[in-house]
Amino acid sequence: MLSLFGYNEIRMEGQPAEKKHYTLFELNSIIKSVIAGSFPDAYWVAAEIAELKCNQKGHCYIELVEKEDEKTTAQIKATIWAYEYRRLASKFEKAAGEPLKLGMRVLLRAEVTFHEVYGLSLNIRDIDPAYTLGEMARKKKEVIERLKKEGIMELNKSLPLPLVPQRIAVVSSPTAAGYGDFFKQLDSNPFGYRFAHVLFPALMQGQEAEKSLISALEEIKLNAGDYDLAVIIRGGGSVVDLSCFDGYSIASHIARFPLPVVTGIGHEKDDTVADMVAHTKMKTPTAVAEFLISGMRSFEDKVLDIQERTLAYTDRFLKDKRYELGALAQRISFVPLRISSLHGQRLALLRRDLEVLAAQALRGEDTRCSGLEQAVRHLDPLNVLRRGYSITRHKGRVVKDASLLKRWAVIETRLRNGKITSIVQERKETEKGEQNQTDILLPGFE
């Protein structure tokens, strides 16, 4: 017998020697022995999670890959046994705010193992959450630098906000925590403003979220003329959970979008790239609703202020013109007394000319007064009330600032078909700095 690696070659008398061979188990045992001797320690390995499954016993089976230009250049199976998985999963989620999932790039400490039946795999012993968060921050920085280099970082911000933001295209998941809060706040506003809003459903987290968000924006773009602006809302989440809003594709679509985009993603700590390129970033869906309501309120205050100033100016103008016409008539009446009777013919001619000029002046002023009176009637508060608004007064003065009212103050609200007298029990003031300022009227605000 001839022994090699502990295995024998057998030769029988009168027969040719049997070729040396190993059973598969024997060969795999040799491979296992070699690998165990060559890789005695655990090693830190950076890779992307391509597949992740956990069985009923609590063991976690992972497929790790390495990619270059979206092409897989390396791949291997890995295992986290149940005892280790409970500890490592808790450690990772506590640090990252999100459990391990597909698409994550992770840094793992693993032992190289080979099993006679299951083959080569990695036995994971530890995981570094800081690497995953750092990798996300690095990618986010690269996206921001690319957007700046392309000159589109401020593109959406350059679009003017609508004077009256009433037609809203909403990108959100119907099941998102902030979806209901947004519409409740918007539709139940204390001023009775009416908003037309259309939902464009999209995934707000996970691998398919970015693609889903872009699809919703593209659908809105097809009918961009039907909307004043677009909002993207969700109910908040962890850093990892919101990573889809840091991608280049979604950010570039928002930056180039033909309508102003307002975000209310709900992340309190850092801005996502989507927040950075959007026209206006609010922290929560409720804050987005308040922003839209404040835009309507600002416009209404401007209209009422212009109305009051126009009425006051018209009143002063008419008084001045009546005084001037009265003085002119008085001067004309004294002319004959100061002129000698010897100049009667000249006086008659002069009087005729004066009468003609006075008549022309009166007709001109009458025309101007008629135009002003027509403008005043158009801006008459009753016409404003017919369009669904109300005017609240305290002691005869229009109330513009809730902070000026004290508790138990008596206020009078004028409606289209009557008046309501109320007593103030509680007041709520909107935060300063949330209103969009404008001095231009928009036709069709009804």
Confidence at residue 5, expressed as pLDDT on a 0 to 100 scale: 45
Residues 244 and 154 in one domain: yes
Grouping H, G, I as helix, E, B as strand and the rest as coil, residue 278 is coil
Confidence at residue 439, expressed as pLDDT on a 0 to 100 scale: 34
Q: Is residue 332 part of a domain?
A: no
* Rounded-to-integer distance, Cα 123 and Cα 32, Å: 14
Residues 162 and 254 in one domain: yes
Residues 211 and 74 in one domain: no
Contact in structure between 285 and 181 (CB atoms under 8 Å): yes
* Rounded-to-integer distance, Cα 57 and Cα 80, Å: 12
Confidence at residue 437, expressed as pLDDT on a 0 to 100 scale: 37
Residues 151 and 281 in one domain: yes
Q: Judging by beta carbons within 10 Å of its beta carbon (0-12, 13-18, 19+), is residue 339 exposed, middle or buried?
A: middle
User: Structure pTM?
Assistant: 0.51
* Rounded-to-integer distance, Cα 307 and Cα 311, Å: 6
Confidence at residue 379, expressed as pLDDT on a 0 to 100 scale: 63
Below-70 pLDDT ranges, the chain = 1-18, 97, 236-241, 267-270, 334-344, 375-382, 384-385, 429-446
Select from 245, 260, 292 the last residue of a domain.
292
CA distances from 445 to 168, 261, 284, 307 (A): 15, 22, 27, 15
Q: Is residue 2 part of a domain?
A: no
Domain range for 57 is 21-127
Spell out the alpha helix ranges (H) of 339-389: 344-378, 381-386
**CATH for 195:** 3.40.50.2300
Residues 113 and 143 in one domain: no
Q: Is residue 298 part of a domain?
A: no
Rounded to 5°, angle at Cα 326 from 324 and 327: 65
Residues 278 and 146 in one domain: yes
Select from 257, 292, 327 the last residue of a domain.
292
Residues 211 and 282 in one domain: yes
Q: Is residue 164 part of a domain?
A: yes
Domain count of the fold of the chain: 2
Confidence at residue 57, expressed as pLDDT on a 0 to 100 scale: 87
**CATH for 67:** 2.40.50.140
Measured in degrees and rounded to the nearest 5, phi and psi for residue 430 equal -75, 150
pLDDT digits (tens, 9 = 90+) for 168-202: 999 998 887 788 888 888 888 888 888 999 999 99
Grouping H, G, I as helix, E, B as strand and the rest as coil, residue 374 is helix
Q: Is residue 248 part of a domain?
A: yes
Confidence at residue 323, expressed as pLDDT on a 0 to 100 scale: 85
Cβ partners under 8 Å of residue 430, min gap 6: 290, 294, 297
Phi-psi region of 14 (alpha: psi -120 to 50; beta: other; left: phi over 0): left
Confidence at residue 436, expressed as pLDDT on a 0 to 100 scale: 40
Select from 292, 326, 347 the last residue of a domain.
292
Q: Is residue 346 part of a domain?
A: no
Contact in structure between 172 and 202 (CB atoms under 8 Å): yes
CA distances from 109 to 66, 77, 94, 183 (A): 16, 14, 18, 47
Residues 271 and 168 in one domain: yes
